[in-house]
Amino acid sequence: MAYDKFTIINTSAVPLPIENVDTDQIIPARFLKAVERKGFGDNLFRDWRYNRDGSPKADFPLNNNKYSGKILVGGKNFGSGSSREHAAWAIYDYGFRVVVSSFFADIFKGNALNNGLLPVVVSPEFLQKIFDEIEKDANATFEVNLEEQKFTINSTGESSDFEINTYKKHCLQNGLDDIDYLVEMKEQIEIFEAS
């Protein structure tokens, strides 16, 4: 799937200090009936974000005007549950490019990377610092530098390195996906099948 190339992002962030945010919360199953990849952002965190009558819940961070930016900061074990890629699509479609947490579920992490959404893993202590920083100043900004694999709290200059494999980094920086790569390999795959 085509997505924007990832370079350096410098923005404020939206806090979601909840653990085990599962894919059913990110996008409830009843919104998975589409056959195209469009408009999932509208239903991101649907049941946490809206009351049953469709009115926004005032205490949910996405409904709080003081928070904005392209970074979503989540509690540990973010994205557990289903393999639905719609979760990554919804977060991207809403306008986020980075999700920060101290721990991600495997399938979610893979899905995010395949869709131009960067999962950044930091230590629990550093994650707390990010939450504290946003609590202090909702407009606090952060820099995510993919090339240097660094996440920085701009006001203090404190930073944390993060891991990403070289291949995936290359894909994100160039907006490439795995399918192009695999289709090129067809001959090799046929040889493997024959063996």
| The one among 83, 139, 173, 174 contacting another protein by CB under 8 A | 83
| The one among 85, 96, 98, 117 contacting another protein by CB under 8 A | 85
133 forms part of the interface with another protein (CB under 8 A):
no
CB 118 within 8 A of CB 97: yes
Radius of gyration of the CA atoms of the chain, in A? 18
Q: CB of residue 10 vs another protein: minimum separation in angstroms?
A: 26
Taking residue 126's Cβ as centre, other Cβ atoms within 10 Å add up to 18
Question: Considering beta carbons, is residue 41 or 143 the nearer one to another protein?
Answer: 41
Tokens encoding 69: 């930016």
| The one among 6, 9, 14, 25 contacting another protein by CB under 8 A | 25
Strand partners, 14: 72
Q: CB of residue 18 vs another protein: minimum separation in angstroms?
A: 6
Q: Please report the DSSP string for 47-110 in residue order.
A: HHHB-TTSPBPTTSGGG-TT--SSEEEE-SSBTBS---THHHHHHHHHT--EEEES-B-HHHHH
Q: CB of residue 193 vs another protein: minimum separation in angstroms?
A: 7
10 forms part of the interface with another protein (CB under 8 A):
no
115 forms part of the interface with another protein (CB under 8 A):
yes
Of 49, 37, 107, give the one whose Cα is nearest residue 78.
107
| The one among 4, 29, 135, 147 contacting another protein by CB under 8 A | 29
Produce one character per residue of 14-52: b if its CB has 16 or more CB atoms within 10 Å, e if not: bbbeeeebebebbbeeebeeeeeeeebeebbbeebbbee
101 forms part of the interface with another protein (CB under 8 A):
no
34 forms part of the interface with another protein (CB under 8 A):
yes
User: Interface with another protein by CB under 8 A: which residues?
Assistant: 1, 17-20, 22, 24-25, 28-30, 32-37, 47, 52, 75-77, 80-86, 88, 103, 105-107, 110-111, 114-115, 128, 165-168, 177-179, 181-183, 185-186, 188-189, 192-193
